[in-house]
Structures are given as structure tokens and as C-alpha cells.
């Protein structure tokens, strides 16, 4: 492999000749051979956005130092970072310094070297120009917020809304279909299948409302706080200008954080937003479990709905088909719920003016957003969209449910209704037969008051 020599404040480093990163990235690459979890690409791309925005802001507030040529070179290089064209030049793992300093320098070095190549001359220094008016301590939190907002607004929310649309269609298709309700895995009073589906819909809509409530806080950016929140070496107005530039580049309404000391040391906005994702994951676990219970069988389970048959379910049992999309969705939910522990723990750490668990926090946060978006899409497209109700089985189960006896409470009282249900179960007879046998109602009166379909 061919190498070139790069220099930083600590001396010289050999860097692969075909890579744009510099000495500081190389040091981190060599010193942190831990795991294989790369810094999320969402963070890499967010750095492209914020570095371009910082150059634009510097050009506005200190054009003497960020002239037109340097702005053009940085912007061109950042566009390639944002597009993913330079992903291979960001090799660092999550397990590095807790402030993300090395990933910030990775961005600075790649943008400087690629920008100089584009300009055809050495215009840019990683620290003096690409990192102008910034510190790793305010850029990494800013990248976290940019990446989090994009992941939620552009990936997770659209998939959740598509899923809601599917549930709305299923509600309309199953209007008037009455089935047995169930609580504690035991028979309960009747419910319309459309009502049951509406419960699922609400379990997606509510967490989306929570995510919406989290977004304004995530759209506050730490950039401009520099090292400890004081804004040292950042010119007046830079923070507001850089937030305006980020907004222009993303089409999202970012603002500068009003308290930079809080923005550097606390990560509560991310904890709050991830809590909403955990709520969604918990509800998706419930929905997926409901679907696979209702589809259980095909002959020895509930069998009240049918789901798409996507692949063979067994290497030994011919013809077996399993609820694989439900299983995938529930595994995603387990991972997201587990990630919430890491996010909360990471947010509680770091001393004084800086949180130093930021890489692991955002790694877990973005994994949750990515898994939920992908998992909901797959569950929706490959399972829920194809759900059909077995109306005959629903009607059979409904009319065999002993809990229909609840309809008799106003006429024979709770205790007598309980006696009726117990006799029907013990002698394997109908509720009508039991009620008449016990002398509580005549057959004619029973038929007058007993209408399961009206119990919803």
C-alpha cells in the first residue's frame, strides 16, 4: 500500500495515499481497534451539513477569513460528504473519545484535503478553516441533533404514517364484523374487529405525537458554544447564522440553543425523543404479538385472521408457515427498548461542562430510529397490509364465548349470570340452555334480551 506523510501537532503519521483523512484520524484509527461499529453514516452526513453551514456562517460574519474561494472549496467537499460519496474516508469506530473529537477531526481533515484537491491549491487547513469558530464539543452535539431530526422526520415518521394508513383501511374493510374480545388471554365481552384495529392505530398515533413534541428541542443546536459553552473564538452572531444555514441546507427549522452550557453538558432532548421511540417500540411489540396470536393455528390456534404466507416455516414440518414478520418486528422492539437503557445511561455521564458518552448515545439512538423505520415498513408491507378476517371463525368463537353472559346482568343479576356461565361450561351446553335450566329466564325472554352483536 502506498502512503503519504501527514502532520499534526504531535508529529508525523503515515496515511494511506488514497484516503483524504489526515494525521489525527489515522491516530484514532490505530489507537481504537475496538469492535467493528463504525460511527453512524447519519453522523458523517450531518457533519457535512454542519461544516458547510459553518463555512457559510463564517463567510457572512467574518468574510476576511472565510473568503469566496475557501467557501466554494469547503462547500464542494461537504456536498460530497453529504451525498455519501466520501463514506470510505470516514473509518472511525464508535468506541473513541467520548466527545467525538476524532470524528470531528476526521470531517475537518477529509473536507480540507478534498477541498484543496477540488480547488487545485492548498487553500484549506483542517482546524483554521474547516473548524473555524467551532470546537468538537459543540460540533458533535450539533451533528447528533441534525442526524436525529433527519432520521425521525424523513425515515421513521413517514413509515409510521404509512402503517397508520394501512390500519385505517383495515378498519373500514372490517366495519360491522363482531368478534370475541379477550383480556388476560381469556374470553371477554364482544368487540368489533374495526374497534380492535383502531386500538392498534392509536398505539402508533400516540407515540408519533410524542415524537412531534420532542422535535422542537432537538432542533436547538449547540454550535456556537465552542469548548465549554462560552463561545470562545466564535464571532458574535455566528451561532444564529450557522443555525440559519443548517435550516437552509436541510429545509428544517433549526435554531441556536439559548443556553449553550446546557447544550454541551446535557443530552436530555435525545433521552426524551428516544423515550418516544421506546414507547412506539413497546406498542409495536404489542401489535405484532396481537397479530400472531390472532393468526395462530391454522387449526389448533385462534385462527381469526389470516396473514400472508411469505416463506416456508420449517425445515422438517412440510407446509408449516410462521408469522415471521411479527417475530422480526418484536425483535426490533426488544433492541430499541434495550437501546433506551444505553441512551439514558450515556446521558447521565460526563463531568462538569461536557458529556463524554456522546458516540455511544447517538449510535444507539440512530440504530433505534433506523430499526423502527425499517421494521415498521417490513411489517406493514409484508404482513399487515395482507391481513384478512376469517369472519366465520370470528362468529363461531363469538357465539361460543361464555362471557356473553354479561349481557344478562341487568336481567338476572351478576351472581345468577355467574351461575349460568359456570353451568354452561361444566355441562358443555349453551348459555341459553343453562339459563333456562336454572329457571332464570324463559326461552322466549332469553331471545328477547340476548343479542351479542349489539354488545359492542
**pLDDT tens for each residue of the chain, 456 residues long:** 899 999 999 999 999 999 999 999 999 999 999 999 999 999 999 999 999 999 999 999 999 999 999 999 999 999 999 999 999 999 999 999 999 999 999 999 999 999 999 999 999 999 999 999 999 999 999 999 999 999 999 999 999 999 999 999 999 999 999 999 999 999 999 999 999 999 999 999 999 999 999 999 999 999 999 999 999 999 999 999 999 999 999 999 999 999 999 999 999 999 999 999 999 999 999 999 999 999 999 999 999 999 999 999 999 999 999 999 999 999 999 999 999 999 999 999 989 999 999 999 999 999 999 999 999 999 999 999 999 999 999 999 999 999 999 999 999 999 999 999 999 999 999 999 999 999 999 999 999 999 988 999
CA distance 49 to 108: 12
pLDDT at 124: 98
pLDDT at 453: 87
Beta-sheet pairing, 3-8 with 178-183: unpaired
Known catalytic residue at 45: no
Contact present, 354 and 138 (Cβ < 8 Å) = no
Query: CA angle 40-41-42, nearest 5°?
Result: 90
Alpha helices by DSSP H, listed for 353-405, are: 358-382, 391-400
C-alpha cell at 319: 407446509
> DSSP class of residue 93?
B
CA distance 245 to 280: 32
Of the candidates 184, 194, 262, 378, the residue annotated as catalytic is 184
Residues in a beta bridge with 389: 305
Cα Dmax for the chain: 101
pLDDT at 189: 96
State yes or no: cis peptide before 298, omega within 30 of 0: yes
**C-alpha torsion sign, points 344, 350, 354, 358:** negative
C-alpha cell at 61: 460574519
Architecture of domain 401-455: Orthogonal Bundle (1.10)
Question: Which numeric CATH code is attached to 3-132?
Answer: 1.10.275.10
Known catalytic residue at 125: no
Q: Indicate if 401-455 has the same CATH topology as 3-132.
A: no
Question: Which numeric CATH code is attached to 138-218+262-392?
Answer: 1.20.200.10
Contact present, 192 and 177 (Cβ < 8 Å) = yes
pLDDT at 364: 98
Look at residues 337, 335, 343, 333 and name the one whose alpha carbon lies nearest to residue 363: 343
Residues composing the chain: 456
Map out the domains of the chain as residue ranges: 3-132, 138-218+262-392, 401-455
Kindly provide the b/e burial profile for residues 335-356, where b requires at least 16 CB atoms within 10 angstroms of the residue's own CB: bbbebbebbbebbeebeeebbb
C-alpha cell at 236: 458574535
Of the candidates 83, 314, 348, 451, the residue annotated as catalytic is 314
Q: Is 197 left (phi over 0), alpha (psi -120 to 50) or beta?
A: alpha
pLDDT at 1: 83
Kindly provide the b/e burial profile for residues 248-268, where b requires at least 16 CB atoms within 10 angstroms of the residue's own CB: ebbebebebbeebeebbbbbe
Contact present, 321 and 312 (Cβ < 8 Å) = yes
Amino acid at each position: 500500500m502506498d502512503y503519504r506523510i501527514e502532520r499534526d501537532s504531535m508529529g508525523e503519521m503515515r496515511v494511506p495515499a488514497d484516503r483524504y483523512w489526515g494525521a489525527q484520524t489515522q491516530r484514532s484509527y490505530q489507537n481504537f481497534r475496538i469492535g467493528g461499529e463504525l460511527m453512524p453514516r447519519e453522523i458523517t452526513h450531518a457533519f457535512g451539513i454542519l461544516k458547510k453551514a459553518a463555512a457559510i456562517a463564517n463567510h457572512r460574519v467574518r468574510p476576511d477569513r472565510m473568503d469566496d474561494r475557501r467557501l466554494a472549496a469547503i462547500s464542494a467537499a461537504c456536498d460530497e460528504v453529504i451525498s455519501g460519496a466520501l463514506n470510505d474516508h470516514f473509518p472511525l469506530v464508535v468506541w473513541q473519545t467520548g466527545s467525538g473529537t476524532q470524528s470531528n477531526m476526521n470531517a475537518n481533515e477529509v473536507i480540507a484535503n478534498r477541498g484543496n484537491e477540488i480547488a487545485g491549491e492548498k487553500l484549506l487547513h483542517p482546524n483554521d478553516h474547516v473548524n473555524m469558530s467551532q470546537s468538537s464539543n459543540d460540533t458533535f452535539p450539533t451533528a447528533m441533533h441534525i442526524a436525529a431530526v433527519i432520521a425521525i422526520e424523513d425515515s421513521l415518521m413517514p413509515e409510521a404514517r404509512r402503517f397508520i394508513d394501512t390500519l385505517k383501511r383495515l378498519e373500514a374493510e372490517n366495519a360491522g364484523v363482531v368478534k370475541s374480545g379477550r383480556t388476560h388471554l381469556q374470553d371477554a365481552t364482544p368487540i368489533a374487529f374495526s374497534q380492535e384495529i383502531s386500538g392498534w392505530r392509536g398505539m402508533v398515533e400516540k407515540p408519533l405525537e410524542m415524537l412531534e413534541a420532542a422535535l422542537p428541542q432537538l432542533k436547538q443546536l449547540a454550535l456556537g458554544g465552542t469548548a465549554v459553552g462560552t463561545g470562545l473564538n466564535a464571532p458574535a452572531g455566528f451561532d444564529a447564522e450557522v443555525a440559519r444555514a443548517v435550516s437552509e441546507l436541510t429545509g428544517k427549522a433549526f435554531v441556536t440553543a439559548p443556553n449553550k452550557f446546557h447544550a454541551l453538558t446535557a443530552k436530555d432532548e435525545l433521552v426524551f425523543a428516544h423515550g418516544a421511540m421506546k414507547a412506539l417500540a413497546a406498542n409495536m411489540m404489542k401489535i405484532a404479538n396481537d397479530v400472531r396470536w390472532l393468526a395462530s393455528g391454522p387449526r389448533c390456534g385462534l385462527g381469526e385472521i389470516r396473514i400472508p404466507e411469505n416463506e416456508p416455516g420449517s425445515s422438517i414440518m412440510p407446509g408449516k408457515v410462521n408469522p415471521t414478520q411479527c417475530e422480526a418486528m418484536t425483535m426490533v422492539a426488544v433492541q430499541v427498548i434495550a437501546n433506551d437503557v444505553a441512551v439514558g445511561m450515556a446521558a447521565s455521564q460526563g463531568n462538569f461542562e461536557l458529556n463524554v458518552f456522546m458516540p455511544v448515545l447517538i449510535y444507539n439512538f440512530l440504530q433505534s430510529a433506523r430499526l423502527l423505520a425499517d421494521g415498521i415498513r417490513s411489517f406493514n408491507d409484508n404482513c399487515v397490509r395482507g391481513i384478512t378476517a376469517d369472519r366465520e371463525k370470528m362468529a363461531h368463537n363469538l357465539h361460543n364465548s361464555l362471557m356473553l353472559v354479561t349481557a344478562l346482568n341487568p336481567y338476572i343479576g351478576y351472581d345468577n349470570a355467574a351461575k349460568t356461565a359456570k353451568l354452561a361450561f361444566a355441562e358443555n351446553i349453551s348459555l341459553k340452555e343453562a339459563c333456562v335450566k336454572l329457571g332464570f329466564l324463559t326461552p322466549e325472554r332469553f331471545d328477547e334480551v340476548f343479542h351479542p352483536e349489539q354488545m359492542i
